[in-house]
Structure 1
Amino acid sequence: MPKPRPQPRPGDEQSPREDAGHSGEELPVAGPPAASPPQALSMNEQQQITDDISKLTIVHEIALNSDFKLQAASFSPKSLENRVKEILHKAFWDSLEEQLSASPPDYTRAIQLLQEIKEALLSLLLPQHNQLRSQIDEALDMELIRQEAEHGALDIHGLTVYVLGTMARLCAPIRDEEVRGLQSLTDPAQLLREIFRVLGLMKMDMLNFTIQSLRTHLQDHTVQYERKKFQELLDKLPNSLDRTREWLCKAAAEVSVSSSQLPPHPAASGSPAAHSPGAVSSSTTVPNLTSVLNRGYMNLLCWEPGQKEYPETLFMDQARLQEVQAQVNQLTIIAAVLLVTSGMCGSTLCGSPGYEEALEDISNQVLQEVSRTLSHLGYAAFTTDKCASLKGQIKSIADKGNAVQHVVAQRIHSFLSLFISPDGQKSQKDFPKGLDPIQEELLEVGRRFGSVIHHNRQVFGPYYSEILKKMLLPDAEPDSDVGMDSF
């Protein structure tokens, strides 16, 4: 006979939740070395590299994205992966239902599920939850459950009642309604399936709570971790910094032309030096290495998508930096429109209550013309979102050759360059002339840009230092810091 089952303690099912967590002169610049032929990697090596990149990306996102949250894996409803998953899941749960409906019931799969449910509940506990841990171990004693199943005395309903009570104590407030909804299910197979699903959500909630709780601690160690993992990738993938060398080589060529041009204007990329990384001259002037790196960072705001690959050391931030680039372009157009309007209308008019209405009329007129042209050419009309985005932008200002846009872009880039300098915070009080209407937006873009660059500099500074010294100071001693200031 099975040993007596310990009865749940009073209040276990509906007790208050415990402390669960919830939620001028040119210089000789060496061109990038030719890459060696890629070596074939085994499937295991490829999988290991993929896993390393995944871990590195997660840690990087935690460090830079304060809203970062892990999400359950999902597939497109029509994808092969989703179809396979649905078939396998249906087969499993159909089998469970058949087993529980048999006479006598077969509890094989139910016991497997109860074991996983127990492990899931235990994984949700915090270190101080010693008493609750003991209660779960006692109430979900797997050896006792197997004995009861063998003797046909297993009480699935009683076990699920205890599980639901424990889930109610541990779940985040956002899951309260879902947990309560489970109590109305009477079919044991369906109930176990839904318990399993909600527990998965609760585990994700706990992981995200842990990430938020440990964010400060993680940020103290993420630089060393990212650098270590990146070095492990380099060890497995030789010559995998070629794009980074090309990016820095281009920046060095630009700085060698005129060290006084900081930051570069987008049009500067049309200069011969900008398109000739690795150009050699007879000058022996060596630019400050930090200036070269800063120029490279500012060039990211003028990146031409689709024409060249992002540096390997910035690949994880490509989407984030391209979003900053798009915002800078939008702010340049908006500021240029406001500057032109202010110059033509005068400051008195621009400061009057009717100024915003006048700008609204201008944007509406532009939108009407664009809509008419789209219709004439047979293109689909703009969506509501596109119309809202277009309003306030004047087509002529968007021309890169426009003098006003050129001045505005220079001022914006000069201001943003302060955010990647060690003493930039002290200088941000000197806001560029004529950009007051976009001050709040520009400050936010600057902070985002500076945050990404500051972290990148911390992680990859040693790599940049080594590449630049080999490129610009080929005769320097290996450990020399000639021409180098702090990255």
Structure 2
Amino acid sequence: MPDDSLKRSSSFELKKEEEIENRSSINSLGTTEDMKFVLISSNGSPPKVLSFDEVSQLSKNLENMALIHEIALNPDFKLKPYEPCNTLEKVVKEMMHKAFWNVLKEQLNSNPPCYDHALQLLREIKECFPYIILEKNKKVLELINEKLDPSIIYEQARNNSLNFRAYADFVIDILAKSCAPIRDEQIQNLTKIEDVVEVFKGILEAIAVMKLDMANCILELTKNELIANAIEYEKLKFQETLKYDKNFPGIKMWLKRNEVRFENASKINSNETIFRAYIELLDWTTSNIYPEVFSHDKSRLERLSTTAKKLCFLSTICAVLQSIPLFKKERLKMFSNEILILLDAAGSEIDFQDSRESIWIHILATFSQGNESQMRVDNDNLKENFFYAIAKGSPVYCLMWKRLITYICIILKTKNSPPPPPGYEIYETELRTFALNFKRIVMYNYSVYGEHYLKVIQENEI
């Protein structure tokens, strides 16, 4: 804040032109079009920061394909208010907020009152309304322009007749008529605040969440259009790339490794080859070159791969425990959820096989509830057998992985919603969420690059 803004004014002497030019940094309060949002990803991709204008222009501007791609493939895309990650930036922002409100209170309490900050605040609030009220509500916007006319407010301030509280009540009334039902209580609470500065603090908070609501609404309404445009745009850009560079070794080797031929072995089964290639992404060998067209999705696919292996590992444990007579069946579901929590707490980078010891300790604790004496019998042998049974590559693990892949293939090839395979019933919710997220990536990728895959396969046919 400028130092002179901290001084009391005995009269309102600023000229209108000077007052407009010397606006304080209310932008830091988040009241203007510079307010930012963060696009949240549920699939491990880094969050992206957007301005309100960027949100509203997404459907018209497809230059930022990485962003459009993220929205198209993120089923839970949401925006949240941007908060500085830098500690210094955060401290400065908080100090500026505090200074602004302190100066506003000081100016209003001076005798006679000074309205420098009040005028700036009302102007900023007026500029916010087009961002929280749809353009079709022209009468409301016209009313706002009429009531919050800068020249009228300026004259009122100059004549020392500005009723700041009346303007607060007008703004609250407009917000109440424009907000989503979920915000009704927040707006209603503003009418109960007596201190006018605190009222305007609450007004700005309400405007901030209403901007967030509107931004998310815009994204939701334009999502289908964004996806359709993104697919066509990515196809076009890829075709342009092929004019200059047709050498994509990662794609060629990926499809070649997963080649499936018909029974007479004279022709490649293109569809099965492509499906098998997609499945390989869930158990990728790091020494292989990753297909180039998954540059935007590699981290997302790696996380899905981790999820698939975790579900297989958990289901293998449950299958093994079901074969132990001492383990009560009714305890299995609770135990399996406890193991899921243990693995989630360990982080996504954990090697599940390294967690066998902690899982075994948890099993011992479970057995000890009424079966401790029996459990101690041949304890080492039980542990050894258990470790062998749940190891990657064991017959049980391989069977559970095969069931998982079969389930995924059904999800990919049909519109049906099959029941979870045997052994996965306990994790039905997690399995279905994983499968649908994987299918979303596969279908989008095939829509863009499927034609190219078919051409590559045809070129490799003997």
The answer to whether 1:295 aligns with 2:276 is: yes
SS at match of 2:156: helix
| Aligned residue among 50, 60, 74 for 2:83 | 74
SS at match of 1:71: strand
Cα distance per residue 1:161-209 (max 9 Å; x no partner): 1111221222223323332333344444443333222211111112223
The answer to whether 1:321 aligns with 2:301 is: yes
CA distance in 2, matches of 1:141, 1:71: 31
CA distance in 2, matches of 1:136, 1:396: 72
Q: Is the 8 A contact 2:258 2:277 kept in 1?
A: no
SS at match of 1:149: helix
What displacement does 1:135 show?
A: 2.4
| Aligned residue among 228, 235, 238 for 2:233 | 228
SS at match of 1:356: helix
SS at match of 2:133: coil
CA distance in 2, matches of 1:360, 1:112: 58
What displacement does 1:159 show?
A: 0.7
| Partner residue in 2 for 1:111 | 119
Larger RCO: Structure 1 or Structure 2 (Cα < 8 Å, ≥ 6 residues apart)? Answer: 1
Identity of aligned residues (%): 25
| Partner residue in 2 for 1:12 | none
The answer to whether 1:452 aligns with 2:441 is: yes
What displacement does 1:429 show?
A: 5.5
SS at match of 1:67: coil
| Partner residue in 2 for 1:180 | 188
| Partner residue in 2 for 1:8 | none
CA distance in 2, matches of 1:225, 1:116: 35
| Partner residue in 2 for 1:30 | none
Aligned residues: 369
Q: Residue type of the partner of 1:183? A: T
Cα distance per residue 1:316-341 (max 9 Å; x no partner): 44454344323322332233344445
**TM-score, with structure 2 as normaliser:** 0.62
What displacement does 1:285 show?
A: 7.9
What displacement does 1:115 show?
A: 1.7
Cα distance per residue 1:227-264 (max 9 Å; x no partner): 5268669989x99999xx454233234135x6589xxx
| Partner residue in 2 for 1:416 | 408
**TM-score, with structure 1 as normaliser:** 0.60
| Partner residue in 1 for 2:146 | 138
Q: Is the 8 A contact 1:248 1:296 kept in 2?
A: no
The two structures, once aligned, show a CA RMSD in angstroms of 4.9
CA distance in 2, matches of 1:240, 1:183: 64
CA distance in 2, matches of 1:62, 1:95: 42
CA distance in 1, matches of 2:118, 2:303: 49
Cα 1:419–1:136 shift into 2, 3 Å: same
Cα 1:233–1:295 shift into 2, 3 Å: closer
CA distance in 1, matches of 2:330, 2:249: 46
Q: Residue type of the partner of 1:355? A: K
Give matches, 1:150-165, under 5 Å.
150-165=158-173
Cα 1:442–1:363 shift into 2, 3 Å: closer
| Partner residue in 2 for 1:356 | 330
CA distance in 1, matches of 2:66, 2:366: 37
The answer to whether 1:473 aligns with 2:459 is: yes
Cα 1:186–1:440 shift into 2, 3 Å: closer
Q: Residue type of the partner of 1:402? A: S
Cα 1:181–1:57 shift into 2, 3 Å: farther
Q: Residue type of the partner of 1:225? A: A
The answer to whether 1:63 aligns with 2:72 is: yes
CA distance in 1, matches of 2:300, 2:228: 18
Q: Is the 8 A contact 1:336 1:404 kept in 2?
A: yes
| Aligned residue among 162, 167, 177 for 2:175 | 167
Cα 1:82–1:55 shift into 2, 3 Å: farther
CA distance in 2, matches of 1:344, 1:382: 19
Cα 1:363–1:117 shift into 2, 3 Å: closer
| Partner residue in 2 for 1:401 | 393
Cα 1:398–1:309 shift into 2, 3 Å: farther
Cα distance per residue 1:282-329 (max 9 Å; x no partner): xx9884555454333212211368x88965643444454344323322
Q: Is the 8 A contact 2:81 2:212 kept in 1?
A: yes
Q: Residue type of the partner of 1:456? A: N
CA distance in 2, matches of 1:180, 1:103: 32
Q: Is the 8 A contact 2:251 2:291 kept in 1?
A: no
Q: Is the 8 A contact 1:99 1:105 kept in 2?
A: yes
Cα 1:105–1:382 shift into 2, 3 Å: farther
Cα 1:357–1:235 shift into 2, 3 Å: same
Cα 1:396–1:462 shift into 2, 3 Å: same
Cα 1:432–1:140 shift into 2, 3 Å: closer
Query: Unaligned stretches of 5+ in structure 1?
Result: 1-50, 262-283, 368-378, 475-481
Cα 1:260–1:81 shift into 2, 3 Å: farther
CA distance in 2, matches of 1:344, 1:453: 39
CA distance in 1, matches of 2:333, 2:134: 57
What displacement does 1:416 show?
A: 1.1
Give matches, 1:304-383, under 5 Å.
313-318=293-298, 320-340=300-320, 354-357=328-331
CA distance in 1, matches of 2:167, 2:245: 55
Q: Is the 8 A contact 1:363 1:391 kept in 2?
A: no
Q: Is the 8 A contact 1:145 1:154 kept in 2?
A: yes
Cα 1:227–1:192 shift into 2, 3 Å: same
Q: Is the 8 A contact 2:66 2:296 kept in 1?
A: yes
CA distance in 1, matches of 2:128, 2:249: 49
Moved more, 222-231 or 320-329: 222-231
Q: Is the 8 A contact 2:250 2:289 kept in 1?
A: no
SS at match of 1:473: helix
What displacement does 1:62 show?
A: 4.0
CA distance in 1, matches of 2:337, 2:178: 53
Cα 1:321–1:241 shift into 2, 3 Å: farther
| Partner residue in 1 for 2:47 | none
